[in-house]
Structure 1
Amino acid sequence: MRKLFAILTMLAALMLASVTAFAAPSLVDNAKLLTPQQRQGVLAELHKQEQAHNVRIAVVTMKSIGGEVPGKYANKLLDTVYNDGANGNMVMLQVTDSRKWYIATDKKMKEIIKGDEAVEYMSKPMVAEFKIENYNEAYLVYARKAGELLTYYEEEGEPWDPNAGFNWLALGIAVLIGGISAYVYRATLLASMSNVQTAVAADAYLDKQSFALTRSNDTYLYTNISAVPKAKQEDRDASDGSVSDHSGDGDHGGGGGSY
């Protein structure tokens, strides 16, 4: 009986070691965008942030995902592959044929990386590197920005918010005081100018002894109108790293877009 127990214990240990050894790496470059040396550097930065915050921060590149929605595909990666971070999990999916990106967060991580602003804190500098095909730096920026957001949460006890601590009332008071001060200063300057007087009509400024209008004629030639459609806001910002795709649900957060 003891021998059987020992054998079962050994088998369980071997299975656990096998699962650990073959756990999915935090960087899977299926699109072959990085050199071997670059992959090592990105993996090192991802592992650094993961170990510092006890999370999973992954990068997956794909040439194509067929007709699947990037956000839902990234959510599946979290559910089936990248789900072993004690404090949360996050994956950035890049699809090269459609030039799409998506940052997906699990239930824990979406309470830390909260809202489009937090996602764009990572995505905008990352997408700027995508556009010049500097993929190595893009993934490094993504990992570092994720680390900054995690550090903020750990130190402040709340998710990062770009508007936190901004006092709109104080701004309004400052603008009001500035406007009043400018008006008083202008009125003082005008009052001190002895050679300036307010005229009732425009012709009061005309020196009638030096000017005499003898003929007046208006000639209408033609009008050429050229209309150019105004670019929509979403057209201008569609590929700057702004979030335009939401595939989140009760268990997933994040957002994505194009580049």
Structure 2
Amino acid sequence: MKSYKSSNLRNVAVIGHGKTGKTSLLDACLFNAGAVKRLGSVEEHTSALDCEPEEESRGMTINLKLAACEWRDYKINFIDTPGYPDFVGEVKGALTAADSALIVISAPSGIEVETEKAWRYAEEAELPRAFFINKMDREHADFNQVVEELRVRFGAGVVPVQLPIGQEAAFQGVVDLLALHMKIVTHDEEDLIADIPEYIQGDVEEARQKLIESVAEFNNELLEKYIEGTEITEVEVAAALIEGIQAGKIFPVFCGSAKQNIGVK
């Protein structure tokens, strides 16, 4: 691994309720970045992270772990944390070392007890926060319901930057609300990137408008363009989004399935 300037380093604490798939998500990240040669599984005891005997027997993370990988000229140091409340010290320790937090949520379960605690700990540490709604391929997964729960509980700054294509067994990919294209997982090595089909264009347009409205609230230049009905480019939305995340006013929502490696890249 080559040396990186501090501007190209990202330290991300991955936190949330137990059994939401935090470790599985990081196993997928390591695989996608080429840090490991095969996609690890907690259930099959092949995870690159949960490899201690006690963790393997219980099927859960006990100690925090560092998962470092290189991605697009950046080095990302993910810190995997336990979700069980007895190990809260590990979570707080990870947040002390991190400069941002990714809160993982189970799509079928929504907000749980440790979700709220994780948010509070990250908020107290004044860290930028994002959400990853995992297990979109599971029964009873409902992206819109979870997002609505998040907005009610954590404010209007919670805004999706992706939409799922299908849910439960029909989940097959995600729509990027910035680039306005969709990515579908195929049986080949490469994912299929395509234009957005007509049947979901209405949902995508509505979601993108909410995203623009959210970032325009604190960006006067963007707000002026939005009011005037002037076209707002992907670059402008992305820049305002970064600004909002850094300021602690915008909390982006991603979605996917760590097990199926969908939406992770």
Larger Rg: 1
More helix by share: 1
Tell me the TM-score normalized by structure 1: 0.26
Tell me the TM-score normalized by structure 2: 0.26
More strand by share: 2
Using CA pairs below 8 Å that are at least 6 residues apart, which structure has the higher relative contact order? 1
